[in-house]
Structure 1
Amino acid sequence: MLKKIAIVIVAIAVIILGLALAQPNSFTVTRSTTIKAPPEKIYPLISDFHNWTMWSPWEHLDPKMVRTYSGAASGAGAIYNWEGNDQVGAGRMEITGVAAPGKVDIKLDFLKPFESHNTTVFTLEPKGDGTNVVWTMTGPSAFITKLMGVFVSMDKMVGPDFEKGLASMKAVAEK
């Protein structure tokens, strides 16, 4: 009986590992919303890391989170480092490119709980009396990401946070 149980456990492990290896080598998470404000009003909320405390979905998960800002005050070259509890981890963001008021490119490095290096892009396109804001994150899928992807996709893990962040950004920008 124990032999049969062991065979089943090994078979399940092999199947899970096989499914993990079959996962894509990269991921993309994208969410968007329309905000009733011009791009010029929304752009500073993204291009100045000091303003992220008003809308980022992760900013209030750890009241003791340590934030440091360096480089440019805003725009290309602005750098934001954070270190916090298990919910926010630790990492670094650097704005690598801007096309004011329509686009912000960010290099996003997570250091804890898992190391990963991703790219985040915000695009702002005028749409009627508002602006369509698109938040996209792309990155490579390390084996641990692929293994987690067997059970839950990056889109399902991160997408709801993007939705919360965009809703908060909308509330701030529409005031």
Structure 2
Amino acid sequence: MKVLKAVFIILIVLAALLVIVGLFMPSKFSTERSLVINAPQEQIFEQINNLKNWNNWNAWNKTDPNWQVTYSEALSGVGASYSWVSQNEQIGKGKVTITKSEPMSVVDGTMEFEGMNPAKIYHKLEPQDGGIKVTMGIESDLGNNILIKYMFGLWGDKMVGGNYEKSLQTLNDYIKANPPAPQAPAEPAANDTAHNHDSSAATQPAH
């Protein structure tokens, strides 16, 4: 009995310590990853600014192939959104909405999970030697939920950052495999053609 009582007391003390430590753990979480992609900036921006294109590269979208997704009428730019429902506990139910879109440079948004505070997500495109530096990141207020604070405090950077690493690499691979179609040379306007024809006819010597 004394041994069991001692074990019980130790467990109570450990639980109390975990709770106390959890209370003082940071309630803010943030992480980001970057990759330089050698591709036209317009092509990269279109993949990020259009939410339906996220299926081409976003690791999060590939977690559950059976999830149910609903898109807003607008697929790109400020106000565009998609919501999802999944039986996978890692995904659950949530929504992404674009809140800021600056051509060729910035796409910010919110990511909402059921039962959690909305998180800010951001994407930045910065030209530099060798291509375009693409940065993806997240900033979130975890609130006072001790379990969530422990989860993100211990594994958040690896878990969320790992998804960003996969997303960036997949985006790079997708763009390399799907280069933009070459633009056809512009045809001369009809009036220019007629003008050139008239000019050449006028300069021919009379017989």
Q: Please give the per-residue CA displacement for 1:101-159, whole angstroms capped at 9, x wherever unaligned.
A: 10001111012xx5331000100001123100111100102223213246x23112211
| Greater Rg by CA | 2
Counterpart of 2:116? 115
Superposed CA RMSD: 1.5
Q: Percent of aligned pairs with the same residue? A: 31
Q: Please give the per-residue CA displacement for 1:74-112, whole angstroms capped at 9, x wherever unaligned.
A: 11110111111323222101000111110001111012x
5+ residue gaps, structure 2, are 178-207
Counterpart of 1:138? 139
**In the TM superposition, what is the alpha-carbon distance from 1:71 to its structure 2 partner?**
4.3
Alpha carbons 2:31, 2:161 under 8 Å: kept: yes
5 Å matches for 1:62-77? Answer: 62-77=64-79
TM-score between the two structures when normalised by the length of structure 2:
0.78
Alpha carbons 2:111, 2:120 under 8 Å: kept: yes
Distance 2:37 2:152 in 1: 32
Counterpart of 2:86? 84
Distance 1:153 1:61, change over 3 A: closer
Match status 1:156 vs 2:158:
yes
**In the TM superposition, what is the alpha-carbon distance from 1:61 to its structure 2 partner?**
2.3
Counterpart of 2:167? 165
Distance 1:20 1:45 in 2: 39
Q: Please give the per-residue CA displacement for 1:34-67, whole angstroms capped at 9, x wherever unaligned.
A: 1111221101111111101110112222221111
TM-score between the two structures when normalised by the length of structure 1:
0.92
Give aligned pairs, total: 172
Secondary structure of the residue that 1:40 maps to in structure 2?
A: helix
Q: Please give the per-residue CA displacement for 1:9-36, whole angstroms capped at 9, x wherever unaligned.
A: 0111111112211211211011111111
Q: Specify the code of the residue in structure 1 equivalent to 2:109.
A: I
Q: Specify the code of the residue in structure 1 equivalent to 2:122.
A: V
If asked which structure has higher relative contact order (CA below 8 Å, sep 6+), I would say: 1
Match status 1:124 vs 2:125:
yes
Alpha carbons 1:23, 1:149 under 8 Å: kept: no
Secondary structure of the residue that 1:116 maps to in structure 2?
A: coil
Distance 2:37 2:79 in 1: 26
Distance 1:108 1:155 in 2: 17
Q: Specify the code of the residue in structure 2 equivalent to 1:32.
A: S
Secondary structure of the residue that 1:101 maps to in structure 2?
A: coil
Q: Specify the code of the residue in structure 2 equivalent to 1:76.
A: V
Counterpart of 1:36? 38
